[in-house]
Structure 1
Amino acid sequence: MWLVLNVSLDTQTPNATDPASWLRMSVHQKDATLLPLVRQATDCVVRKVTADPRYQSDMRPDDFSDLVVDSISACARPVRAMIDAHDRMYGNGSGEAFLLGPYLDVLPSAVVKQVKIRTR
Structure 2
Amino acid sequence: MASNAAHRAYPSFTLYGAAKAAVIHFAKGFSNDLLGRKIRANVISPGTTNTPVFDRFVPAEQLEAVKKYWADVMPIGRIGQPSDIGKTAVFLASDDSSFMLGAELLVDGGLSYLSK
TM-score, with structure 1 as normaliser = 0.26
- Greater fraction of residues in helix: 1
TM-score, with structure 2 as normaliser = 0.26
More contact order relative to length (CA 8 Å, sep ≥ 6): 2
- Greater fraction of residues in strand: 2
